[in-house]
Amino acid sequence: MATSAASTASAPHDASSLPKVVRAALVGAPLMGALLVWALSLPSIDLYSLDDYGLTRQLPVGWYAALAVCVVGAALHACVGSTRWAWAYLLGAVVVLFATLPLLAEQPHYSWVYKHLGVVRFLEQNHQVDTSIDIYNRWPGFFAFSAVFGSAGGQLNPVKYAAWSEFVFTTFNLLILAGIVRAVTGSRRIPVAAALLFVALNWVGQMYYSPQAMTFFCHLVIVWLVVTQLSRDAPGRGGRAVLRLAARIVRRPQDPALPAGHRWMPAWVAVLAVIAIHAAVVASHQLTPYLVVLEVGGLTLLGLVRPRLLVLGLLALALAYLAPNLDFVKDRFGIFSSPDPFSNIARPSSFEINPMAGKVWSARAGQALAVVMLGGTAISTLVLARRGVGTRALVLLVLALAPFALVLGQNYGGEVVLRVVLFSSPWCAALIAWALMDVSRSRWRLPLLGGGAVLASALFVPASFGQEELHSFRPDELRASEHLYAEGRTPAVVMATTPLGFLPNYGPRYPEFEYANLLRGNRFRNRSLGAADVPAVAATMEGRAPRGYLVFSTAQNTYARVSRITPPGALRSLEAAVARSARFRAWYRGSDARIYELLPRHEVTTRARRHEVTTRARSAKRSAAPVTRQPAPPRGTSIRPSPLLPAPSPLLSPPPPPSPPRLRPRAPFYDPG
């Protein structure tokens, strides 16, 4: 069989006579050189001077060369070399792609990461959840685990390690995916090829510090346990019906046998392990438990796994947790969005006005990757069925199609497409890798796999890094958010100027603040801003809380420029007007962030009255001071002090006017510089 040929192909023997150490040095030299070039290229990357193409244009040639060497090396060794070296080159590609940003920035990117950091810090300080605050406190599994992990490791603020989440979770996901693919295909080479394609196809960027990243990994572990420990030797009635239909379409009978994996634990232990991991998923994320149910349910429906009651137990566990939170979810988010799948997959863009060319290119690259993934999966499924391995491929196909059921009733806040791509991509990558590695002519394997991996990687870079100028923040912006949520007076609204660009809820006191942004609606968009808009800005903030903090920052100016939601210079003009207004006072001033406090009306009135009283008192004292008049000198003479006359006594000169009393602010002005 072609599959066995792919799994037993060995490396060329022309270098077998060389010593083992020399061979390892020759094989590993390109990898070491690539990583060295990558490391040397990092100092030339300026993360804070990006254009609308994000990091794509800022990355030097050495960075791209290092990525190409790692991708091609992984494909080469997956086809004709050692699988150990294939994994080494693949991990090198993971380092290049996911370790670049943590090494360049002092803080995590993505503004929404800081919401998660705030919840963890809240739990670290209070040691209990408060379900009245937000949905994070109702699904606190990930945050509670992070708080315990940080306390045990002496890192109470996860910001110090959160930036490495993408690298860590991606590495773990690859290892679990490889175990699943090997159990299905029985090959040692197809798993590393599947892992390589999964890295390049998974462009949605959901592996940051979040409950989704952790629950996605847990979901892979559940699938691994189900496939390796609970699979049947032959499909059930539903599976046989699908295979008969496939045999008629491709006109070739399908091998009914499923891979006989080595079961190293009793079935009841595997069931308990699946339920325990699923419980952690249920308590951590709102969507992932139902994706697990869909995938395990699809395998159960076709008779590919046992016991059948397992899927019912998983569903019951998810619904039991949802029941006490149902009213909260219905009121805030809704259960079902629409039965129209086309309406649910319509993803609203953040750039409604006139996106710049770089943003269009980034979006098109992501769409192209999705087309490549889905088209490649369809073709690969037909190819595998023509080779008679449809029974084993059916396991991966069910896992790939199950997430698409989400679009029949939920849009998940406009992100259902991203979640479908995320949960389908590992299985689509496995099917494509299997078809490419199982071609009858072995000399075609490397061009097909290497070309596909290079193409996917070339699209991955703009799709993943093309919006980095919107997601990277400067250290001063982090300090501003830290100071605001630590020292700000409450209750108050934190009003950012743009939908992205500030770090919200970053602090254990975040429940005392309401976060909003000024340009989310159309009232202040697409027009010039200035002094005439200050009363409306103050009224907008007062509609949410009696006190507020208006934030201006470099990242928000970048967002406004790239998305073109305001004319150039509009936010700077508004900030200058706010700085002159009596309703606001400067509260924080740094190199990249400024915060102005909105004063309540009674404080503004009191300050105005005190200022008026002080001004009147100063004028009265000046008018009451004695004035000595000197006789006018004769005309034509100049006034020259005589050196024989004594200097005038200070007692005869009028006293200087007293300095006006200073108002001591309740919250001091903070200038980190």
pLDDT digits (tens, 9 = 90+) for 476-488: 999 999 999 999 9
d(CA 570, CA 578): 12
pLDDT digits (tens, 9 = 90+) for 549-602: 999 999 999 999 888 889 999 999 999 999 999 999 999 999 999 999 998 877
* Residue 72 confidence (pLDDT) above 80: yes
**In 570-593, which positions are buried (b, 16+ CB within 10 angstroms) versus exposed (e)?**
bbebbbebbeebebbbebbbbebb
Per the CB < 8 A criterion, the answer to whether 6 and 189 are in contact is yes
| pLDDT at residue 346, as a whole number | 67
d(CA 315, CA 311): 6
609 compared with 134, residue with greater pLDDT: 134
Q: What is the pTM (predicted TM-score) of this model?
A: 0.86
* C-alpha 269 chain-centroid distance: 35
Average pLDDT of the segment spanning 315-333: 92
| pLDDT at residue 647, as a whole number | 45
pLDDT digits (tens, 9 = 90+) for 373-422: 999 999 999 999 988 888 889 999 999 999 998 888 776 766 788 899 99
Gyration radius from the chain CA atoms: 33
661 preceded by a cis bond (ω within 30 of 0)? no
Per the CB < 8 A criterion, the answer to whether 41 and 99 are in contact is no
Pull the structure tokens for residue 425: 């991509």
Pairing label, strands 513-517, 492-496: parallel
d(CA 120, CA 142): 9
| pLDDT at residue 668, as a whole number | 42
Per the CB < 8 A criterion, the answer to whether 42 and 50 are in contact is no
Average pLDDT taken over every residue of the chain: 85
Range with the lowest mean pLDDT among 353-357, 459-463, 478-482? 353-357
d(CA 503, CA 472): 11
Give the full edge-to-edge strand order of the sheet including 513-517. 513-517, 492-496, 548-553, 593-598, 584-589
d(CA 28, CA 87): 12
| pLDDT at residue 584, as a whole number | 95
Range with the lowest mean pLDDT among 45-54, 235-244, 286-295, 634-643? 634-643
| pLDDT at residue 260, as a whole number | 60
| pLDDT at residue 348, as a whole number | 55
Find, among 104, 98, 146, 100, the residue nearest to 123 by Cα. 146
